[in-house]
Amino acid sequence: MQQNQTPRSSGGATALHIVDPAASPALRRGGRNARPLIADILVRHGLLTQDDLLTALALQRHQNLPIGEIMVARGMLREADLLAALSLQHGTGRADLGVEPPDPTLARMLPARQSIALNAVIWRQMGAALIVATNRPDRAADIRAEFAPTGLHVVIALASRDDIQTAQTTLYGTDLARLAEGHAPQDNSCRSIRPVHLARIVALIGILVLTGLLLVPMAMTVLAFGLALLVFAANVTLKCAAAAATLRAERTERTQRAAAVQAAPPPLLRMPVVSILVPLFREREITGSLIANLSRLDYPPELLDVMLVVEEHDTLTRDAIAACALPDWMRAITVPPGHPQTKPRALNYALNFARGTIIGIYDAEDRPEPDQIRRVARRFATLPPDVACLQGRLDYYNATHNWLSRCFTVEYATWFRLLLPGVQRLGLFVPLGGTTVFLRRTVLEEVGGWDAHNVTEDAELGLRLTRHGYATQIIDTTTFEEANAAVWPWIRQRSRWLKGYLMTWLIAMRRPGALWRDLGPRRFIGLQVQLLGAVLGFLLAPLLWSFALKPFGYPHPMDAVLSPIHYGILGTGFVTVLVVGIAISVLALRADHLRGLRGWVALVELYYPLATLASWLALLDVMRHPFHWAKTAHGHFSGDQSLGTVTPPPRAALPDAASSFNRTTNAIDR
């Protein structure tokens, strides 16, 4: 039934034409439920070629998406023209949410989750009628069903995707941001950490140590050096075991490939929608390059949902994004103000707007391999449901910038190419990296998303997945990043990582019995080495460095309990560990683009003292500012700051579809 009412607004004119679809002559000619095909409308107006139509139809057969959405993502059609054609198809008016925003008092009638799922917001109420704006009129039945209990008549209006998203941010953003701050379960979240309590505990430990040094100095000395040696031995054992596990697996895989001819994997009949979350903060310098890098991804654009997640007050990054022509499969998500202002909080907020069943994370400076998303989608399709996460390799594209970037690259190659795959094969928990992580959305939501208060949210999420019985696997694909190539920024970044490790361990160990039951003995012990051992290893390293003075005739605090033979055994052990560590790093640099760094491997030992400084800063920061996020600056060492823009090909505009539509209906035009 036609709605002969006009919405009132505070000012300005509205372009909305309120129409009951059944009143449209275009629909009545084919029967009450018949509608002209969207493709027919587009072809009739000269906006779509037959070749584009055939391509879109072929794609739609394998994808659960509206054909219009496919054409817009492929650059065959502008969204404005699609909305005009949908107006003709559905006999639906238009609402300009930018000129006349939705009435905020009506938002409570449609909760945020349903609003986002339906791509809809309530625009106006006129008596017993609600005007609901959407860019998906094919979901009109679901939208009407949402309001069926109210008894109100729902009139559908069309609005652009960006206008609807902006309206949702305005209407629901503050509440969603608040929920993002406490998304992770209380028992697993660092938000319960109280710096004052930690400071008191550390002060108490310090008092006990000083008291012990005064009363039993030799016993305390032996205890300190013994702890340092124990942590060192545990870390070395884990490193060697992980490297050996990876090398054994590689040898087995080579043997299997040689013994059998592997057939090409069958193509996926229906590829999933993949949402990529890219948190940005003060990234003006590299925003353009990021957009260009992500535009090289070889994945169907209609199935790719890239979200540039930016803080509301970060006008530098927002202006940089606005200056770029974003492809239709890429959009900006604005995060309302809140506390703490961290990457995981931004990720939790953006997750509300994600379309994909797979959620991926990239950093601002990332250059993923073009086929990475295809590899991820195919791998997930072949894995059991309990494999909830895939972690790709990380590498650096500015490895030769200076000595620090070279050492950083060697360290990353050792970790991502040998040690992390070995940790997975040993059955231990996999501490995720902050980027090139891909998760099943259902599992991510089940375990509670990210801990907004943890500054190493990736490692904590990896532990939580393991505790819930899910597995993480390493996938053979690489993302290239920008290495921190200045000493102080490197120390601040490493300090944040170690602080997050320490916070994750503290929270997990509040209930050691539950942790033991969740992980089992092997993983529980492995966790102590992976998290606490990583921090203590750097904190206590100066004690081990002191042994290097002994060959030069200097006295040592352990002279009272160690004989020359003991010192000889220790020295032999240290040299052996050094040689084995160098060998492991050399093996990790087998890739063609990394072999030139083998000559720098020995210098990595001179680079690790920076991590010791970072560990002490991390310990102080846990007691002072546990939730402070030390921002890593990007774009200063890459040598490539070109502004990359991706502009869809121009298309002819649809003839005034709204005017044409008006001539065939009895709409009321205010």
Mean pLDDT for 502-511 is 92
The pLDDT score that the predictor gives to residue 428 is: 95
Helical (H) or strand (E) element with 204: helix 195-215
The pLDDT score that the predictor gives to residue 268 is: 65
Could you give the CA distance from residue 42 to residue 44 in angstroms, rounded to a whole number?
Answer: 5
Tokens at 21, concatenated:
């679809």
Dmax (CA) for the chain in angstroms is 102
Q: Which residue has the tokens 């969207």?
A: 38
The pLDDT score that the predictor gives to residue 650 is: 40
The pLDDT score that the predictor gives to residue 171 is: 94
Could you give the CA distance from residue 76 to residue 648 in angstroms, rounded to a whole number?
Answer: 8
Give the number of other Cβ atoms within 10 Å of residue 193's Cβ: 18
Does residue 514 sit in helix, strand or coil?
helix
The pLDDT-based confidence of 67 (bands split at 50, 70, 90) is: confident
Mean pLDDT for 588-604 is 92
- Residue 89: pLDDT above 60? yes
- Return contacts of 143-152, CB within 8 angstroms, 24+ apart: 143/118, 146/110, 146/114, 146/118, 147/109, 147/110, 150/109, 152/125, 152/128
Top pLDDT among 500 and 257 is at: 500
Pick the range with the lowest mean pLDDT from 116-130, 250-264, 268-282, 302-316. 250-264
**pLDDT tens column, 169-218:** 999 999 999 999 988 888 888 888 877 777 788 788 888 888 887 888 89
Q: How many residues does the chain have?
A: 670
Mean pLDDT for 460-482 is 95
Mean pLDDT for 39-54 is 83
- Return contacts of 142-149, CB within 8 angstroms, 24+ apart: 142/118, 143/118, 146/110, 146/114, 146/118, 147/109, 147/110
Q: Which sign, positive or negative, has the C-alpha torsion 340, 342, 344, 345?
A: positive
Could you give the CA distance from residue 77 to residue 66 in angstroms, rounded to a whole number?
Answer: 13
Following CA atoms 249, 251, 253, 254 in sequence, which dihedral angle do they give, to the nearest 10 degrees? Answer: 160
Q: Which residues 6+ apart lie within 8 Å of 242 measured at CB?
A: 418, 419, 420, 421, 422, 423, 425, 426
Among candidates 28, 41, 130, which has minimal Cα distance to 87?
Answer: 41
Helical (H) or strand (E) element with 491: helix 487-508
The pLDDT-based confidence of 264 (bands split at 50, 70, 90) is: low
Q: Which residues 6+ apart lie within 8 Å of 66 measured at CB?
A: 136, 138
The percent of residues in the chain predicted with pLDDT above 90, rounded, is: 59
Do residues 499 and 621 touch, judged by C-beta distance below 8 A? yes
The pLDDT score that the predictor gives to residue 217 is: 86
Mean pLDDT for 163-174 is 94
The pLDDT score that the predictor gives to residue 3 is: 39
- Residue 546: pLDDT above 50? yes
Q: Which residues 6+ apart lie within 8 Å of 34 measured at CB?
A: 27
Q: How high does pLDDT run on average in the chain?
A: 85
Q: Which amino acid is at 633?
A: A
The pLDDT-based confidence of 11 (bands split at 50, 70, 90) is: very low
The pLDDT score that the predictor gives to residue 61 is: 82
**Planar angle of CA 570, 572, 576, nearest 5 degrees:** 115
The pLDDT-based confidence of 262 (bands split at 50, 70, 90) is: low
Mean pLDDT for 248-263 is 68
- Residue 228: pLDDT above 60? yes
The pLDDT score that the predictor gives to residue 108 is: 93
Q: Which sign, positive or negative, has the C-alpha torsion 395, 400, 406, 410?
A: positive
Angle between helix 343-351 and helix 457-467 axes, rounded to 10 deg: 60
Residue 651: C-alpha distances to residues 94, 197, 505, 645, 654 (Å): 21, 63, 56, 18, 9
Burial 539-556 (b: 16+ CB within 10 A, else e): bbbebbeebeebeeeeee
Do residues 307 and 297 touch, judged by C-beta distance below 8 A? no
Among candidates 335, 349, 311, which has minimal Cα distance to 180?
Answer: 349
The pLDDT score that the predictor gives to residue 59 is: 85
**pLDDT tens column, 283-298:** 887 888 899 999 999 9
340 upstream amide cis, omega within 30 of 0: yes
**pLDDT tens column, 640-668:** 433 333 333 343 344 333 333 333 333 32
Helical (H) or strand (E) element with 440: strand 437-440
Q: Which residues 6+ apart lie within 8 Å of 112 measured at CB?
A: 168, 171, 172, 175, 176, 352
Helical (H) or strand (E) element with 478: strand 471-481
Phi, psi of 31 (to 5 degrees): 100, 165
SS (H, E, C) 590-648: CCCCCHHHHHHHHHHHHHCHHHHHHHHHHHHHHHHCCCCCCCCCCCCCCCCCCCCCCCC
The pLDDT score that the predictor gives to residue 587 is: 95
- Residue 219: pLDDT above 50? yes
Mean pLDDT for 381-404 is 94
Does residue 434 sit in helix, strand or coil?
coil
DSSP conformational letter for 108: G
Could you give the CA distance from residue 449 to residue 185 in angstroms, rounded to a whole number?
Answer: 9
